[in-house]
Structures are given as structure tokens and as C-alpha cells.
Amino acid sequence: MKVVFPSLSENERFARIAVSGIVSLADPKIDELADIKTAVSEAVTNSIVHGYPETVGKIELTVRLYEDSTVYIKVSDKGCGIEDVQQAMLPLFTTRPDEDRAGLGFAVMESFMDKIKVTSKVGRGTTVVMHKRITPKERK
């Protein structure tokens, strides 16, 4: 699935619902689905708040479900970009302290997903790619 939507805060919910629809096909455990939805929420919120701080832009969400039950999720924007990705990924780092941001978005994504990769170019945008292997529920 690939969808493009405006960087409006209400679309964070849409992104979580869209991803959960695809991920549900792998019959994940409830906690795995919740983890994935939280990671997506953080990635989309980062694009909204940090990628487009003064304007509305487009966010692209791609979700793939592979035969081995691995979920691939890509969230990308064409916003302002991140000057120092390594610094931005440190817990408690935020570019928006004026808005009481905790600076835990990337830490949350890393803790809930098996793999995360962030690429960014100043003035061109940011892409977050996440992977998670789903453990199908045991059948009774």
C-alpha cells in the first residue's frame, strides 16, 4: 500500500489505521500491532511537527507485508530535513523545546521495531524505514 496525505495532525490517526489494516493480515499479537501503530504514529508526527513546522506538506506512507510476516513501513516527507540524524536520534533531543516535545520519537520507534533507518537531507526531507517481524498468534 502506498498513500500520500497532507501533514495535518488529524492524519496521524489515519496513518495508524491504514497500517493496522495491512498488518492485521499477518494475524499479529495485540501487543505487536500496538507497537507498530505507535512507531507509525511517532514517524508521522515527526514529519508533521518537525518536517513541516510552519506549513502543510505531503507525507508518503508505504507499507509492505512479506510472505515471512515481515512488515516494511516507510514514512517520508519533503520537509525541512534533519541536519544531524545521529544527534536527532538521541533520546531527549528535540528541535521544538518550545512545544514541550520530549524528544523520544526515534527512541520509541527503535524500541518497538526490529530495525529502523533514517535518512535526511536539509531542505529536501526525511525518510524513516522500519521493519518488524510478526509472530503469528498460536491457534487453539
**CA distances for 23 relative to 20, 33, 59, 126, angstroms:** 5, 7, 20, 23
Q: Active site includes 16?
A: no
Q: Active site includes 11?
A: no
The Cα–Cα gap between 15 and 75 comes to 10
Which grid coordinates are listed for 31? 501487543
- Contact of 57 with 124, CB cutoff 8 Å: no
State the CB neighbour count (10 A cutoff) for residue 76.
Answer: 21
Q: What does the pLDDT look like over 60-81, one tens digit per residue?
A: 999 999 999 999 999 999 999 9
Identity at 93, one-letter amino acid code: F
From the candidates 101, 110, 124, 133, give the one annotated as an active-site residue: 101
Is residue 89 scored above 90 in pLDDT? no
Domains and CATH numbers, the chain: 2-133 (3.30.565.10)
Identity at 81, one-letter amino acid code: G
**CA distances for 61 relative to 54, 58, 93, 131, 136, angstroms:** 21, 10, 24, 14, 24
The Cα–Cα gap between 21 and 89 comes to 28
The Cα–Cα gap between 3 and 74 comes to 11
Return phi, psi of residue 108, to 5°.
-65, -45
pTM of the predicted structure, to 2 decimals: 0.87
From the candidates 13, 16, 46, 138, give the one annotated as an active-site residue: 46
Q: What does the pLDDT look like over 106-123, one tens digit per residue?
A: 788 888 999 999 999 999
Q: Active site includes 46?
A: yes
Q: How many CA atoms lie within 13 A of 47 on its CB side?
A: 34
Q: How confident is the model at residue 14 (pLDDT cuts 50, 70, 90)?
A: very high
